[in-house]
């Protein structure tokens, strides 16, 4: 798939956008001309049967036009959140008829907050039964929702519900800090289930993702848990003692040979109590471990984590884990350990 992507990138400059009355600006809301050329060439190279796009508009016309040059039936499912702007794309198809071999279905879907493996993220409340095809997705274009509505982190997880191994996903506006952060979290959360590459030479930046193993949103929690278990096995040596707040029902079979200390039988009443428990535990516990469903502790007990960051080495941290090594406290200003 990456060979196909690289071929499309190499040939994209040959694409003629003369069918447009006016080229869109490179810094506007719509896809920039270089991104439109790449998408058009990707369709030619990948020959997708079913395309999904988040954000209807000019891209819808470009994708349909490109699909019209292919043999066989093609389908485009287009999702937009805006009840005023979204229908304009469908209206444009009335003025510029769709090629006979291409079926396009537009859908207005509000943006809502939903659980994605233990975190609330904005997603489209769509109706999959109204997609243009029941086939798995071959190509996905992510150009929504807007940052003001929470950003695009949830959209990849939605797309994976209908993806297959080899699905190609294109993220527009990838040069923005919000999109760069979303891609980093996708990579941390999904591990080797996806591979992402960033291409900064495009006007607004593009990230292309190839799906290796589709992880449906309903299985995201278990997927994160599996990755987390492997990391804990690697990071906590056998024989150590660790503190793990909450998660009494968490499957800790992978940590056989390590002792979990019952430092927090229940969430502390306040920040001072939380810090006091850790101060008392220093010398008895080797690690303090926080799993992603308990990341809210960092907001509720900021003094505890200020103490940990000040007195102990920088923690191991990713989208699933926060681990402080309590075995070698830093020296205080007076030279004594905390």
pLDDT in tens, 216-250: 999 999 898 888 888 999 999 999 999 988 766 56
The answer, yes or no, to whether residue 253 has pLDDT greater than 70, is no
Q: What share of the chain is helix, strand, coil (3-state, %, to 5)?
A: 40, 20, 40
Give me the mean pLDDT over the 158-183 stretch.
96
Sign of CA dihedral 198, 199, 205, 209: negative
Residue range(s) of every CATH 3.40.50.150 domain in the chain:
2-215
Which candidate, 90, 165, 91, 164, places its Cα nearest to that of 130? 90
pLDDT at 333: 40
Q: Which two structure tokens, joined as six digits, stand for 327?
A: 């075995």
- Banded model confidence at residue 335, pLDDT cuts 50, 70, 90: very low
> Taking the domain 2-215, which CATH number applies?
3.40.50.150
- Most confident region among 98-102, 214-218, 276-280 by mean pLDDT: 214-218
| pLDDT confidence tier of residue 22, bands split at 50, 70 and 90 | confident
Question: What does the buried/exposed string (b/e) look like for 215-240 if buried means 16 or more CB atoms within 10 Å of the residue's CB?
Answer: bebeebeebbbebbbebbeeebeeeb
121 φ, ψ (degrees, to nearest 5): -135, 155
pLDDT of residue 266: 74
How large a percentage of the chain has pLDDT more than 90?
A: 66
Residue with tokens 């279905």: 105
Q: Is the pLDDT of residue 332 over 60?
A: no
């Amino acid at each position: 798939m990456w060979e196909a992507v690289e071929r499309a990138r190499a040939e994209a400059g040959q694409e003629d956008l003369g069918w447009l009355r006016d080229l869109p600006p490179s810094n506007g809301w719509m896809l920039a001309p270089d991104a439109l050329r790449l998408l058009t060439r990707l369709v030619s190279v990948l020959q997708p049967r079913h395309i999904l796009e988040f954000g209807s508009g000019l891209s819808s016309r470009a994708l349909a036009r490109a699909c019209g040059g292919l043999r066989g039936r093609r389908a485009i499912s287009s999702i937009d959140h805006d009840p005023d702007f979204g229908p304009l794309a469908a209206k444009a198809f009335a003025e510029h008829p769709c090629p006979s071999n291409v079926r396009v279905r537009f859908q207005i879907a509000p943006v809502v907050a939903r659980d994605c493996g233990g975190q609330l993220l904005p997603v489209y409340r769509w109706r999959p039964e109204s997609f243009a095809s029941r086939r798995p997705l071959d190509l996905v274009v992510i150009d929504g929702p807007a940052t003001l509505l929470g950003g695009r982190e949830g959209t990849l997880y939605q797309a994976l519900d209908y993806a297959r191994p080899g699905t190609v996903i294109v993220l527009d506006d990838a040069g923005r800090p919000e999109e760069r952060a979303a891609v980093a979290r996708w990579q941390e959360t999904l591990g080797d289930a996806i591979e992402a590459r960033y291409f900064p030479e495009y006007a607004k930046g593009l990230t292309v993702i190839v799906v290796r193993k589709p992880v449906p949103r309903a299985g995201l929690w278990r997927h994160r848990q599996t990755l987390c278990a492997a990391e804990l096995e690697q990071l906590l040596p056998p024989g150590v003692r660790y503190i793990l707040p909450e998660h009494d029902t968490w499957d800790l079979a992978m940590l056989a040979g390590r002792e979990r200390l019952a430092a927090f039988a229940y969430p502390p009443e306040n920040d001072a109590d939380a810090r006091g428990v850790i101060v008392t535990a220093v010398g008895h516990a080797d690690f303090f471990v926080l799993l992603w469903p308990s990341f809210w502790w960092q907001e509720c007990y900021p003094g505890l984590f200020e103490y940990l960051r000040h007195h102990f080495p920088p923690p191991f941290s990713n989208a699933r884990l926060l681990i402080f090594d309590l075995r070698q406290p830093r020296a205080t200003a007076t030279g004594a350990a905390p």
